[in-house]
Structure 1
C-alpha cells in the first residue's frame, strides 16, 4: 500500500517543473537588481567625486557675474563663456576639444581659483563708511590706486584690475611705448612716504589701444600694462572690479575720482603728496555734448562719443587736473563693492568754474580688455628684473596732463543756466 501512495521520482519533477522555472527567474531578477543597484551606486559616488574635485569652483562662479559652462568630467571640454568680473585671469576652453591635456585641465582650474579669489576681494577696501568732502583721501580707502612713473617721475594715475594687470589712459604713453621706461607704484598713500605696504612693479608688456586718437579727438583713450610679477593682495593693495559690457549706473550713483594731480593749473600738490579724492556726478551725455560745443557750429573736433562719458561736480568745480590722467573713476554699485567705470581722459582747464571732465567708458572696452588679457599669458618669473625698492618722490614735477581742447569753448547764458539747473536737480 505504501508503494502505491508514493509517486515516482520522474513524476515529481514533471509536476514541479513550472515551480523550478519560476524560482530561477525570481533569483535571476533579484541578482540583476542587486547588480544594477551596486553599479548605480558606484557611478553616483564616482560622479560626486568628479564634480567635487573638478567642478565646484565653476558652480560657485555661476552665482557671480561670470557665466561659465561646465566641461564634461575631466577629459572632454564643452566650451565656456569668458568670465567677465574684474580682477581675474581670463581663460576660455577650446570649444569641441574632446581630449584636453592634463596640463590644460590644471591650468583651467588654476585660473578658476585665481578668478574666484579676485572676485571676492575686488572693489572692497578695508576702510569703509561714509565719505565726506573732496580733499585728502584716508589711507586704504582706494587700494587699487596706482601711480604711473615715466623715467622715475609721476606722470599719470592708473588702477590695479588684476594680480598682473594695471589699466591707464593711452595718452599717458605718447612719450614712449617701451615698457622698461615705466614703473607702477602700488600701496602708496603719500608719494613722499612709502611704507612697508608700498610696492614698485616693473612693466612686462604695454598695450596701447590701436585706435587711440585716430577716428576722433581722444578716442579709445585706454592702455593696459602687464606686470612682470604677480601682486600680492593686501588691505593696502586690491584690484577694482571691472564692469561688464551691459553694466548700468543707477541714478544718483556714488562715484569718486582719485589721484595725485595738481590742485590748479599752476599749483602742485603740496607735501607729502597725499592722495586726493572727490565725489562727482555723472553728467548726461547730451548735456555734456552741448557743453563742449565749439563756437564753430560746423566743427565736431571736440565731441563726446560712445566710448566716453562726462562727470563732475558742477556746483563746486571738482574735476580732474594735471597728473590725474589715467586715474580711476569708481562707483559703488551695491552696498560694499566699487566698480571701475572710467579713466580720467580730458577736460577744460582746471580753473573753469563749471567744468565736467571726460572719462574713458570702460563698459565700452570690456571685450577689448578681456581679449588682451586672455591672449597674454602671465610672464615667467625668471623674465623679471631685480625687484626695486619703492622710491620716495621728493619732488612733484608731473610730466602728464589731462588733455584739453586747444580751441576756445564758450557757454552761452542758456547753456550755463541749464547746467546749473541740472546740478540743483541732482542735489
Structure 2
C-alpha cells in the first residue's frame, strides 16, 4: 500500500483539488467496511470552547498560530507565495452565524520539500489580525502521548457531508509501531503521529477536517497543539487510526516561517 493511495482528509473544491474524493482509490486493495457512526463519533463543541479554530474556504481546518497567521496542512494549499483566494472564518462554532469573522488570505507558506509524503504543514497569512486567542504548539515530544482532542467541521461519517457546527472528539495515542503495522510501514515516524481507537474504530477525523488541530492539555492546564490532521484510510475504520503531522518535529521551522510572513 503506497501513501498515494491513502485518502487525504481534505475536500477537492474548485481549483484546489488537493485530496482524493474516492474513498476506495482505484487499484487499492479491499479494506474493512466503513463504520457509519457519528469529526466521526464526536459531539458539538460549545461556543468559545476552542476560540482559535478556523474554517478555511477550500474545505480544510486550521488554527490561529498568531492572530494573523493560520497553521494548517500543506495538502490543503498550493505553492508558497501571494494568495488572496482563501477566506478564513473564525470566532464561531456555527458557520452560518452572523457573528462569524471572515478574513481573506494574503500569502501562503507551504513546508519546504513537501511532496505529498510527510512535512504536511503550511501557514496562511491573513489580511488583518483576528482578535481571538491563539493556540500554542508543542516544541518537544513531551505531550506526544495520552488522550488527544480533535475538532473540525468535516464529515461525521465516511462519505458524509460537511458540517455547519464545529464537532469535537477524543482519540487515544497510537504507538509508531502499531501505526506502522496498521499501514504496512507507510508511516514516517519522525514526522507523523497517530491516534484513534485502533481495534474498534468509531472515532476519528474525516474528510474536511484536514489542517485542523489535534491537541491536549499541557502541564499548566492550557491547550497545546501536538498534531495537524493529515490522512488516513477512510474514516473511523477499525485498524486504521488517523495520521497527523507531528507538530513538535516542525515547531522551530513553523515559528521561524511565521516570523517572516
TM-score by length of 1: 0.49
- Tell me if structure 1 keeps the 8 A contact 2:205–2:236: no
Kindly provide the CA deviation profile for residues 52-87 of structure 1, in whole angstroms up to 9, marking residues without a partner as x: xxxxxxxxxxxxxxxxxxxxxxxxxxxxxxxxxxxx
Aligned to 2:68: 164
Residue 55 of structure 2 is matched in structure 1 by: 147
Cross-structure match for 1:107: none
Matches within 5 A, 1:326-365: 326-350=211-235, 352-365=237-250
| Counterpart-to-counterpart distance in 2, 1:220 and 1:305 | 12
Residue pairs, 1:278-293, within 5 angstroms: 278-293=169-184
Q: Distance in 2 between matches of 1:328 and 1:251?
A: 15
Cα shift at 1:327: 0.5
Deviations, residues 23-77 of structure 1 (Å, cap 9, x unaligned): xxxxxxxxxxxxxxxxxxxxxxxxxxxxxxxxxxxxxxxxxxxxxxxxxxxxxxx
Provide closer, same or farther for how the CA distance between residues 194 and 329 of structure 1 changes in structure 2, counting only shifts above 3 A: farther
Q: Which residue of 2 aligns with 1:276?
A: 167
Gap regions ≥5 residues in structure 2: 1-40
1:369 to 242, 250, 254: 254
Given the alignment of the two structures, is residue 241 of structure 1 paired with residue 143 of structure 2, yes or no? no
Judged with a 3 Å threshold, the aligned counterparts in structure 2 of structure 1 residues 269 and 351 are, in CA distance, closer, same or farther, namely same
1:218: how far off?
Answer: 2.4
Query: Residue 282 of structure 1: CA displacement?
Result: 1.0
The answer to whether the 8 Å contact 2:74/2:111 transfers is: yes
What are the superposed Cα offsets for residues 195-249 of structure 1, whole Å, 9 maximum, x if unpaired? 2xx2111112110112112xxx52111100111212213xxxx1111222x2412
TM-superposed CA distance for 1:134, in Å, is 2.7
Q: CA deviation at 1:178?
A: 5.4
More strand by share: 2
Instruction: Measure, in 1, the Cα distance between the counterparts of 2:173 and 2:122.
Output: 23
Deviation at 1:370, TM superposition (A): 2.1
SS of 2:43's partner is coil
The whole-number CA distance in structure 1 between the counterparts of 2:211 and 2:144 is: 24
CA contact (8 A) 1:218 1:345 kept: no
> Compared with structure 1, are the counterparts of its residues 251 and 219 closer, same or farther at alpha carbon in structure 2 (3 Å cutoff)?
closer
Query: Corresponding residue for 2:90?
Result: 186
1:310 aligns with 2:194: yes
Instruction: Please state how far the C-alpha of 1:292 moved relative to its aligned partner.
Output: 0.4
- Ranked by relative contact order (alpha carbons within 8 Å, sequence separation 6 or more), the top structure is 2
Greater share of helix = 1
> Which one of the candidate residues 202, 225, 236 is aligned to 2:124?
225
TM-aligned CA distance change 1:184 to 1:269, over 3 Å: closer
User: Which is higher, the Rg of structure 1 or of structure 2?
Assistant: 1
Q: What RMSD in Å do the two structures reach over aligned CA positions?
A: 2.1
**CA distance, structure 2, for counterparts of residue 322 and residue 181 of structure 1:** 21
| Inter-partner Cα distance in structure 2 for 1:194 and 1:258 | 21
In structure 2, do the counterparts of structure 1 residues 182 and 251 end up closer, same or farther at CA, with 3 Å as the change threshold? closer
Change (3 A) 1:267 1:250: closer
Structure 1 spans left out of the alignment, 5+ residues: 1-132, 294-299, 377-427
What does residue range 99-118 of structure 1 map to in structure 2 within 5 Å? none
